[in-house]
Amino acid sequence: MSTQGSLEGIRIIEIGTSVAVPYGCQILADFGAEVIKVERLGGGDDARTWAPLSGGISITFLSLNRNKKSVVLNYKDPSGAELLEELLESADVLVQNLRPGALAAAGFSWERIREINPRLVYVEMTGYGRTGPRSQQPAYDAMLQAYAGVVAMTGSDDGPPARVPLSMMDMGTGMWLALGVFDALRRREQTGEGTHVEVSLLQTALAWVNTPLMSVAAGGAVPERLGSGFRGNVPNGAFPASDGYVFLSVGNNESFYRLLDALEAPHLRDEPGFEDNLARVKNRHVVNERLSEATAKFPMDDLLQRLDRAKVPHSAVNTLDRVLADPQVAALGQLEDVQHPVLGDVTVVNTPVTFNGEYLAQRSTPPELGSDTAEVLTALGLTSEQIDGLLAAGVIETGTDRTAATEGANA
Closest contact distance (angstroms) between CB of 75 and a copy of itself is 24
Please tell me which residue in 92, 141, 170, 372 is annotated as part of the active site. 170
- Cα separation, 89 vs 100, in Å, equals 23
Question: Are the beta carbons of 117 and 89 closer than 8 angstroms?
Answer: yes
Largest CA distance in the chain: 87
- Cα separation, 134 vs 103, in Å, equals 19
Closest contact distance (angstroms) between CB of 86 and a copy of itself is 25
Please choose, from the candidates 324, 337, 335, 353, the residue with its C-alpha nearest in 3D space to the C-alpha of residue 27.
353
Closest contact distance (angstroms) between CB of 247 and a copy of itself is 4
Phi, psi of 346 (to 5 degrees): -130, 135
Closest contact distance (angstroms) between CB of 144 and a copy of itself is 7
- Cα separation, 178 vs 240, in Å, equals 40
Whether 261 is catalytic: no
The amino acid sitting at 382 is L
Closest contact distance (angstroms) between CB of 67 and a copy of itself is 14
Q: Which is nearer to a copy of itself, 147 or 298 (CB)?
A: 147
How close are the terminal C-alpha atoms of the chain, in Å? 40
Question: Are the beta carbons of 148 and 205 closer than 8 angstroms?
Answer: yes
Closest contact distance (angstroms) between CB of 337 and a copy of itself is 9
- Cα separation, 33 vs 333, in Å, equals 23
| Residues forming beta bridges with residue 34, ordered by sequence position | 11
CA distances from 395 to 69, 308, 369, 378 (A): 18, 63, 15, 15
Axis-axis angle for helices 78-90, 384-392 (nearest 10): 130
DSSP annotation of 71 reads: E
- Cα separation, 99 vs 21, in Å, equals 13
The amino acid sitting at 294 is A
Catalytic residues: 170
